[in-house]
Structure formats: structure tokens, C-alpha cells
Structure 1
Amino acid sequence: MKHLAIIASILSISGCASQAPQEVDTSSSSDVTAYSFGIEAGKTVKAGLEDKYIDKDLFLLGVHDAIKGNNLRYSLTPEEISAAHNEHNIWATEKKEEEALIAGEKNAQEGSSFIESYSSREGVRSLDSGILYTVLSAGDGASHPTAEDTVEVHYEGRLIDGTVFDSSVERGEPVSIELERVIEGWREAITHMSEGDKWEVVIPSRLAYGTQGRPPAIEPNKTLIFQIELLKIAEEG
């Protein structure tokens, strides 16, 4: 979808604030106060400005002109501002959906290739669903958890390129999880494990986060790798 002329006009602006930032005089309480207020305001704005399609320099230019009372480089009525925001949001949503579709197709192909390669490694086993796993160490537990159980685990989640996206090991604390509330691939793998087992598990995207992914860490159709250590099956009651 084409942008409104308003959007095009705004994005055609170039340049930055006319004055370079001055140094903060740390001996001046007013300087320190003003700068600290700016830091806090900036953090708040940054947290709410995760839209990668917004030009941050132009955004700051608009803030600068408004705060300094400069003549605005492009004057907008409240109605025009609202229309511009709505149009941008529609465009950005469509753009994100398009990018997600392209990424999803690429990730699906890469995942299939990885699974085919991984399945030929020594010691790799498979479950009926297509989950692959390698037993890194075997525990001495005799029982398996059910899909309704709560278990205590240590884990590390990686993408197929080795990027770690989550790790209880890094945090230094195991987690207690209800198997009814986790992705299907986790539930199936863990219900085949015994207490004390440590597995490396490769989960196809359809048993993980599927076509939706879990942005920003996990894109659509990502095959995931987990090292999972089943520490304990929680006792009922």
C-alpha cells in the first residue's frame, strides 16, 4: 500500500538538530538534573518506539523542534497526524506480514535440511512425531512424567545456527513447568524422559512455535534445539 502524501513529505526531510549536544557539566546540579530527565524520558520513548520502520533521526528532529519552539519544518493538523499514524500502522503491519512470510519460507527450508542432516548423526533417535533426540546422559529414574505433570528442569534453547535464545542454565536456576502449558514438542520429549535424563532434542517448527514464531527471538517456522535435563517430577498434592 502506498503511503499518504503526508508520510512521504515527512520522510523526505533530512538533517538533524542544528546544534551539537553540549557537554554535561557534572559539577552543575541543573545540568545533571536536565540530562538525567532526558535519559529517563529517552528510555520511556525507546521502550515504546520499537517500530523499525520509523526513522529515529527524523523522530528526534521532530522532538527537538517541538521542545525548542522552532518553526516546524512540516506543519500537521491533529487530523493529519492521526491519519498519518493510521496509514503508517496499516503499512507497517502489511510489511511485517510480508517479511514474516518470506522468513518463514526460508526457515522452513533450512529447518528441513538441518533435520535431515541431524538425523544421520551417530546416536540420534526419533519419536513418532518427527522429534529427534540424543541422550547426553541417562538418569536412574524409573518413571516417566505424564502430560499432566509438573516437572523441574534445566534447559537451553538454541536456533539451528547456534544462537541461544533462552537458558535456565545461564540464569543459574532450574524451572518448574506444567507440561500442559508448554509447546507440544517439549511435552512429547519430556514425557519420554526419566528423572535424571539429559537429552538434546530437535523440535520441528510445527511442534514448536509454528508459522507464528515467537518474535523477536524466534521467527516463523524455526526448527529449535533444546538441551533438557529432567531433574524431578513433582509429587502430587
Structure 2
Amino acid sequence: MKKTIITLMLPFCTLAVDAQTKKPTAVKKKVTTVVKKATPAVVLKTTLDSASYAFGNTMATSMKNDGLNNLNYDLLIKGLKDAFANKTPLIAKDQSQTAINNLFKVVSKQKHAPAIAEGKVFLERNKTQQGVQATASGLQYLVMTKGTGIRPKATDTVLVNYRGTLLNGKQFDSSYDRNEPLSLPLNGVIAGWTEGVQLMQVGSKYKFFIPYNLAYGERGAGADIPPYSTLIFEIELLKVNGK
């Protein structure tokens, strides 16, 4: 009798064990596919459309060539709309020009950072060279020949021979090559010349090492002197002509 009861209970035990060990069925997540709409192609239908696009593209190309890579486009468009609508500008005209100039100065410095760094490293090393002296402004000079004549003033006109080179040794100007000394007013030249030549006496020949801020600065000069160039000049003071 006991054997019969045990035999009958076995199937129920098996079902109970299966119920406890059976893993729950995984619920599949529903995947939602987002379909992006294609951006419609811009169609230039009228002369105004074509000219409007051309204005924007031409302006941007010019600014990009000057090193500018982006703008706040929302404010750019607002500026255009305000001007066409004769609205009062958010900033005055003189402030506008200052803002533009300041932006391009930042961009230019970033673009010419290698030249700025090269000049800085050169001047730091050069001022430790024997005979090289430096002024408070950062101008450095070496006396090659000591003269005995008078010293000019900033308001004087002087007669000089000179040779100018870049740090890589490339010559960009020379009165020696033209075999013709140059007469010039000291208050009408770069700051490095104005300061440096006043240190000289007639008959002297100096070599000047001029940082970019005392030379042609962020603009450079023509095709031969790039922006932010540190320059080297050999200058021979021949005569002081007075005012």
C-alpha cells in the first residue's frame, strides 16, 4: 500500500521540481527604426536667389582665405537683416570695426603662431650672445663699428646704408646692392629703426635684431616680409641731416 502511494506521488514531485527550475521566457524588445528625411536640395530659382548665395559664398571664401573658419551664423544673419531693415545696430559703427579687427588679429596670431614662436626663441638665445645688448622695448643690437660723430634725434633725417634679412638669412632689401644710400626721416620708419638709429653715432655700423612688434607687426610688408617676422638689419649711419 505504501509503495502504491509513493508511486502515485512521483509524477507530482517531478512537476514541482520542473516548475521551480524552469527559466522564464525572455521578452523580446521592440526595436524602433528612425527614418531620417533627406534634406531637400537647394534650388536657385531667381536672380535674387543666385546673387544672395553668391554674396554669402564670396564673403565666406574671402574670410576663410584670411584664416577665419567660422562665425556665429545666427548673429551674422541678424546683422544682415537689421541693416536691410534700417534697425539700430547692436553695436556702434566704430565698435563694429574694432570687433572685426580684433577677431582677425586673434585669427592671424593663430595662423602665424610658428613664426611668432621662432622669433621669440631666437631673441631669447640671441641676447645671451657676446656683445649683444637689449633695450627695455625688446630691441637687440650689436655694435660692429663704433663711430665718433653726433647722434640723431627722432625728428632728424638721416643718410644710411643698410641690409635687411629674415631669420632664415633671406635678404629682402639692401642699399648696398643698389649702391645708393637712403635718406629718411627717423619718425617715418618702423619703431625698431627709430629707436635703434638714435643709439648710433655718425660713422657707426650696428646690427639690429628687431622683434615683430617693433617691425611690421601682424601685417608684414609686401611679399618679402611675412606677418609677425623678426627682422635683422645691418645699418651704417653716414650722416645726420637735421630736421
TM-score, structure 2 as length reference: 0.59
Give the secondary structure class of the aligned counterpart of 2:154: coil
Which residue of structure 2 lines up, in the alignment, with residue 124 of structure 1?
132
Query: Please, what is the CA RMSD of the aligned residues?
Result: 2.5
| Paired residue total | 161
2:67 aligned with 1:97: yes
**Structure 1 residue 84, shift from structure 2 partner:** 4.8
Structure 2 unmatched runs, 5+: 1-41, 69-106
The structure 1 residue matched to 2:141, chosen from 130, 133, 144, is: 133
Q: CA deviation at 1:169?
A: 1.2
Aligned residue for 1:161? 168
Cα distance, 1:83–1:132 mapped onto 2, change above 3 Å: same
Residue 214 of structure 1 aligns with which residue? 221
- Secondary structure of the residue aligned to 1:234 is strand
Shift of 1:93: 3.5
For 1:71-90, list aligned pairs within 5 A.
84=54, 87-88=57-58, 90=60
CA–CA distance in structure 1, aligned partners of residues 194 and 62 of structure 2: 35
Contact 2:215–2:230 (8 Å) recurs in 1: yes
Q: CA deviation at 1:83?
A: 6.8
AA matched with 2:181: P
* Unpaired stretches in structure 1, ≥5 consecutive residues: 6-76
1:47-106 C-alpha deviation (Å, 9 max, x unpaired): xxxxxxxxxxxxxxxxxxxxxxxxxxxxxx9x9699758834641343223484444211
Task: Provide runs of 4+ in structure 1 moved above 6 Å.
Answer: none
Question: What's 1:189 paired with?
Answer: 196
What is the aligned counterpart of 2:116 among 91, 108, 115? 108
Change (3 A) 1:89 1:172: farther
Which of the two has higher C-alpha Rg? 2
3-state SS, counterpart of residue 118 of structure 2: helix
TM, length-normalised to structure 1:
0.61
Pair 1:204–1:95, CA change in 2 (3 A)? same
User: What amino acid is the match of 2:127?
Assistant: S
Q: Once the 2 structures are TM-superposed, how far is the Cα of residue 207 of structure 1 from its aligned partner? A: 0.8
| Identical-residue share of aligned pairs (%) | 38
